[in-house]
Amino acid sequence: MNEYWTSLASLLGVFAFCQTILQAVFPPELRFASVKLFYRIFHCFSSYCYFDITEIDGVNTNELYNAVQLYLSSSVSITGNRLSLTRAVNSSGFTFGLANNDSIVDTFNGVNVLWEHVVTQRQAQTFSWRPLPDEKRGFTLRIKKKDKSFILNSYLDYIMERASDIRRNNQDRLLYTNSRGGSLDSRGHPWESVPFKHPSTFDTLAMDPHKKKEIMEDLLDFANGQSFYHKTGRAWKRGYLLYGPPGTGKSSMIAAMANFLGYDIYDLELTEVHNNSELRKLLMKTSSKSIIVIEDIDCSINLTGRKNNNGSVSVSASRSYYDSEIRAGGGCGEEGGNNITLSGLLNFTDGLWSCCGSERIFVFTTNHIEKLDPALLRSGRMDMHIFMSYCSFPALKILLKNYLGCEACELEESILKQLEEVVDVARMTPADISEVLIKNRRKKEKAVEELFETLKLRAEMNEKSGVLRGKNVVEEEEEEEEQEKRALDSESPKQESEIEDNCKEEEEEKKIK
């Protein structure tokens, strides 16, 4: 036994002596150069190239790492054998991911690539203001050399886009409102948010199907039009004006648009904004892929009364809209009003600051379009005017399906005919009809019967009061809509040019002073 330990000690001594000789003959610099040369020779004969994507780049989080993690989660849940499962804050879905040191093959444009999730223990850290995680995480991408130039750049761009879509689909929609009095929340943001749970969709929206289809196609063209907007030099934004009587579904339309595109909503309360500068700051704090809403724009602030009795533009009135905002220390006025000017609102929707983000939609609503300034309604600010009319027969069939669960084919032909004849004359809003159906939603026959009686009674009242003036209601609404548009088109160029002249005169006066 002693001989065994003696021989083992001798072997260890010989090994240590040989190691000392090798270190003396081959210093560390030479050994490092040898290893580097070996790797170069290996990579020259290898048909693959490798790219490392670490979780932390220096002290900052690598955005590409998070994007790859989300992108792989869309396919890992199907093909992976061992998965990690997570759920992010404000997320409505679970995210699957590669487990530690696992790999997966992905295909892009017919080319196979290999992803490996590499996790190693980090060496002991020195003192740092920002301690790093104990584990060092990263992805290694293996691509054939002949495919490197073919897919690398486009593949990574595709991953970033897909990750953004996955993140948006998994995350709950949020409804933002500006803080009261312009105050900031605990994180220093001027917007407060709550989860957006409005169930309205274009399928449930009581509106003419042809008009809905037109709006949906316009929204899709906008959402998929990034290259078009960049090519034409236009900011990637679009404006919608929803106008019509109260109760015609303007708020439901906004919710349907948000659910259709998957956008967040910023509900801007102008009465809580003090001046134009604060309005710009609110705009800068909005995110891309969002809908910025100003409801009842004609009631929010005074943007009307620009004309004199003779129809000309009043210089004093226009100056009130273009007066400079209150400077530092000025406050908001004695009665707590705001100092937002028409110029500030126009710059908010169509100025340079409106381009500080991308893929954003501006939506204004009003019950009285004739009260709005034509400068606010021109193309580029409000690109699409959507008239929310009284309930029509196609919209009525949608309401019957929503509240009673019955299709039009389930009702008798005579009942449908009677409803069709009376609904246009009754001039009832979808909100009024919905209230009638909600009361009797458990008794379909009674609900339809009471609805018909209500519509018939309202139609008789309209005829007696002379509301219809012997004209078809649909034709009358279409004529009113066209008249409003023609009036706006004819007034806008002249009045805008006069206001611009007034602004120039004011600037010259200020320079002289």
DSSP code string of 196-244: ------TTT--S-HHHHHHHHHHHHHHHT-HHHHHHHT--SEEEEEEES
At residue 453, the pLDDT reads 92
| 105: helix, strand or coil | strand
Q: Which of 13-27, 42-56, 244-258, 471-485 has the lowest mean pLDDT?
A: 471-485
DSSP H/E element including 279: helix 276-284
Average pLDDT on 91-111 reads: 75
Asked if the model's pLDDT at residue 437 lies above 70, the reply is yes
Extract the tokens encoding 423: 């609904």
DSSP structure string for 391-412: --HHHHHHHHHHHH---GGGS-
At residue 329, the pLDDT reads 34
Q: Where are the beta strands (DSSP E) in 273-321?
A: 290-294
d(CA 164, CA 66): 10
pLDDT band at residue 58 under the 50/70/90 scheme? low
DSSP structure string for 447-480: HHHHHHHHHHHHHHHHHHHTSSTTS-HHHHHHHH
Q: Which of 230-239, 418-427, 482-491 has the lowest mean pLDDT?
A: 482-491
User: Average model confidence (pLDDT) for the chain?
Assistant: 75
DSSP label at residue 81 = S
- Picking from 404, 453, 457, 458, the residue whose alpha carbon sits closest to that of residue 428 is 458
Residue 115 contacts residue 39 (beta carbons within 8 Å): no
Neighbours of 188 (CB within 10 A): 7
d(CA 71, CA 59): 23
At residue 284, the pLDDT reads 85
Better pLDDT: 50 or 491: 50
At residue 457, the pLDDT reads 92
Average pLDDT on 435-463 reads: 89
Asked if the model's pLDDT at residue 508 lies above 70, the reply is no
d(CA 480, CA 172): 40
Question: Would you call 488 exposed, middle or buried from its count of C-beta atoms within 10 A (0-12, 13-18, 19+)?
Answer: buried
Average pLDDT on 270-281 reads: 86
Asked if the model's pLDDT at residue 510 lies above 70, the reply is no
Average pLDDT on 42-64 reads: 75
d(CA 475, CA 306): 31
CATH of 175-302+341-387 among 3.40.50.300, 2.60.40.10, 3.30.465.10, 1.10.579.10: 3.40.50.300
d(CA 70, CA 64): 10
DSSP H/E element including 365: strand 360-366
Asked if the model's pLDDT at residue 16 lies above 70, the reply is no
pLDDT band at residue 130 under the 50/70/90 scheme? low
- For residue 136, the one-letter residue type is K
Asked if the model's pLDDT at residue 482 lies above 90, the reply is no
Q: So where are the chain's domains? A: 14-45, 48-124+132-171, 175-302+341-387, 393-469
CA angle (507, 509, 511) in 5-degree steps: 70
d(CA 176, CA 237): 19
Residue 419 contacts residue 455 (beta carbons within 8 Å): yes
Residue 437 contacts residue 454 (beta carbons within 8 Å): no
pLDDT band at residue 33 under the 50/70/90 scheme? low
| 29: helix, strand or coil | helix
Asked if the model's pLDDT at residue 302 lies above 90, the reply is no
Asked if the model's pLDDT at residue 39 lies above 70, the reply is no
DSSP label at residue 91 = B
Per-residue pLDDT tens for 178-232?
876 556 655 567 888 888 989 999 999 999 999 999 999 999 999 999 889 888 8
pLDDT band at residue 332 under the 50/70/90 scheme? very low
d(CA 316, CA 308): 10
- State which of 269-283, 312-326, 420-434 shows the largest mean pLDDT: 420-434
At residue 5, the pLDDT reads 58
At residue 323, the pLDDT reads 41
CA angle (171, 172, 177) in 5-degree steps: 125
pLDDT band at residue 160 under the 50/70/90 scheme? confident
Whether the pTM exceeds 0.85: the reply is no
Better pLDDT: 35 or 144: 144
- For residue 332, the one-letter residue type is C
pLDDT band at residue 501 under the 50/70/90 scheme? low
Extract the tokens encoding 281: 């700051």
d(CA 147, CA 97): 26
DSSP H/E element including 141: strand 135-144
- Maximum CA pair distance of the chain? 125
How do 174-178 and 191-195 pair as beta strands? antiparallel
Extract the tokens encoding 77: 């849940």
Neighbours of 411 (CB within 10 A): 17
Q: How many CA atoms lie within 13 A of 431 on its CB side?
A: 12
d(CA 46, CA 32): 21
